[in-house]
Structure 1
Amino acid sequence: MKLLHFQEEGRTKLGISTVHGVIDVGAALGANAAPELKDVDSALKAGNKALDVLRALDSRIIEEGGAAFAGAVRNEEELTLEPCVLQPGKLICVGLNYRRHAEETNSPIPTYPILFNKFENALSAHGREVTIPKTSIKTDYEAELGIVIGRTAFEVSPEEALDYVGGYCNVNDVSARDLQMRTSQWLLGKSLDGFCPIGPYLVTADAVPDPNALGIRCTVNGEVRQNSNTGDMIFDCRTIISYISHHMTLRPGDLIMTGTPEGVMMGYPEDRQKYLKHGDIVTVDIDGLGSLTNRFV
């Protein structure tokens, strides 16, 4: 199931992306649309009961077709989307988590996951413009798989870890490299406004059998810059979730960004580096999760 948020009549609404178009959940359920179904965040916090209602609606759409929900169907191409998670309590990033990315940057293979964070101001959505800051001349792209936590996790084992996932999404961990490397702390270059586009969908965990067997790609103006597989992660999704949960409680809606593969500009020889400039179109594409596209200005 592919969940998304869109703007309509000055409100943020929850939708399900289908072959018939986006189904406005509130319009489709009518009087049966409980408050916990107003957005992804609320549904995750409400637990399986809310998600089961959405799954049942998704099944009805498949069985009955779009015509049965005519008043609730929206043309996805015409929608203004919001982030697929609106207010994650935590935005946790994992650095240098692809073997070939560590090698391209001449970095040692980490012994433990390298964790840092972004803040909510960095969130952006598919189709939004991302502003290149005046303080940076080395703004870079990073295609990443995002994990959205579905239920409270504390000290979970790697074997159980994926049971705590609500869904997965595309992420572009935009990075101002000159600001990132100014000090030993990466925060400044990572958490500028709009530097964390996510989406367009939250694809529920039941639709992603193995998050470490997904093709992941990034293009800039149609040119392939990153082309890898999540199987190249040094610490897989199970390990990351378990490791973090042994140090802090993960709650529904928390977003974990699992690192980027090789092909970022920082990994190129200096004479071949072409950092993002005004007008560049960046697309992050992951098998089964759709495509996340943003224009940089």
Structure 2
Amino acid sequence: MKLARYTYGDVTTIGAVVEDRVVPLASLDASAPSTIREVLAAGPALIDRLTGKLAGATSGVPLAEVRLEAPIPDPQKYLAIGMNYHDHAEESAKAGMTVPKNQLWFNKQVTCITGPYDPIYKPRVSEKMDYEAELGVVIGKRCRYVSVEDAPSVIGGYFVANDVSARDWQFKSPTFTLGKSFDSHGPIGPWITTADDIDDPHALQMELWVNGEPRQKASTGDMIHNIWQQIHELSQVMTLEPGDLIATGTCANVGIALGKFLQPGDIVRVEIERLGHIENAVADEPV
């Protein structure tokens, strides 16, 4: 199921995307939760029930007439892993960066989150704004000390992400958090594809374009630490909650490696097989 948060007219609600329309969950089940985070937390039984009702649904509005919003705008955590694709680690090493032997984690502060088609703003204080295509994971079950084998059972779904980065801020601090957390630098979406719809999240094609020019392309199978290992690692430290977001790493050909930073007027599109795409225009930060 594709769970979308969207605005139609003056009302923002959640629904299920079916081909070229979106069906409000409330029309399928009046008792359905009002947020995607609550739907995921309710577990597979609710997803199965809604999926069954969706098969015969005739209601809904054209997808082209709604504004898709960030599917989960208020997670408690947005965590991201650095240098987690073999080719990106190699290009980082060539640039003189130390490639970590262990998983390298940082926070993207949740105020960075924005919609799948909203603008991303070039900060007044940064001259090195960059892109990073990433597969996103959303936690569906409260968990701690999750084994690698059990990790798939705590995943609620997947989404497309762009880990927008201000490289000058990223590298002037011992931690990446400041350079990864500028407002609007966390576009996610276009919806949450529930875990039951994706047989193998490590077999998806991921691509990024800037102004129609191909920049990044990889299989999600090229991760150094796979998704199950990431969840295992994080859950040794902290309780993961429904709605928590994880960005699972980017592949080679980021802007800093190519000497091509994002500028106002650029259009950045990230697409992942079976999950859809997000597309964001770069604009000057509002005064």
TM-score (norm 1): 0.90
Deviation of 1:52 after TM superposition, in Å, equals: 2.8
- Is the CA contact 2:169–2:179 (under 8 Å) kept in the aligned structure 1? yes
Between 1:8-17 and 1:149-158, the stretch displaced more is 8-17
Counterpart for residue 275 of structure 1: 261
The structure with the largest helix share of the pair is 1
- TM-superposed deviation, 1:55: 1.8
1:1-297 correspondence to structure 2 within 5 Å: 1-26=1-26, 28-29=27-28, 32-34=29-31, 36=33, 38-61=34-57, 68-69=58-59, 73-106=60-93, 107-268=97-258, 273-297=259-283
Tell me the SS of whatever aligns to 1:282.
strand
* Kept in 2: contact 1:140–1:275 (CA 8 A): yes
Contact 1:180/1:187, CA 8 A, preserved across alignment: yes
Secondary structure of 1:256's counterpart equals strand
Query: Is the contact made by 2:160 and 2:189 (CA closer than 8 Å) also made in structure 1?
Result: yes
**Do the aligned partners of 1:172 and 1:198 also contact (CA within 8 Å) in 2?**
yes
Q: CA deviation at 1:208?
A: 0.8
Misfit runs of 4+, over 6 Å: none
> Do 1:41 and 1:86's aligned partners in 2 also have CA atoms closer than 8 Å?
no
Give the Cα separation in 2 of the matches to 1:180 and 1:260. Answer: 16
Identity of aligned residues (%): 39
Distance 2:52 2:224 in 1: 37
CA distance in 1, matches of 2:181, 2:52: 38
**Alignment gaps of 5+ in structure 2:** none
Output the amino acid matched with 2:37.
D
Q: Using the alignment, how far apart are the partners of 1:250 and 1:187 within structure 2? A: 19
Query: Offset at 1:249?
Result: 0.9
Q: Determine the C-alpha separation between the residues in 2 that align with 1:212 and 1:5.
A: 26
Q: 8 Å contact 2:23–2:61 — kept in the other structure?
A: yes
Q: 1:20/1:8 Cα in 2 relative to 1: closer, same or farther (>3 Å)?
A: closer
Q: Which stretches in structure 1 are left out of the alignment for 5+ residues?
A: 62-67
Q: What are the superposed Cα offsets for residues 162-190 of structure 1, whole Å, 9 maximum, x if unpaired? A: 11100000000000101111121211111
Question: Does the residue aligned with 2:111 lie in a helix, a strand or coil?
Answer: helix
Aligned residues: CA RMSD = 1.4
SS of residue in 1 equivalent to 2:225 = coil
CA contact under 8 A between 1:105 and 1:266: conserved in structure 2? no
Relative to the length of structure 2, the TM-score reads 0.94
Per-residue Cα deviation, 1:8-28 (whole angstroms, up to 9, x for no partner): 3433211111124111222x2
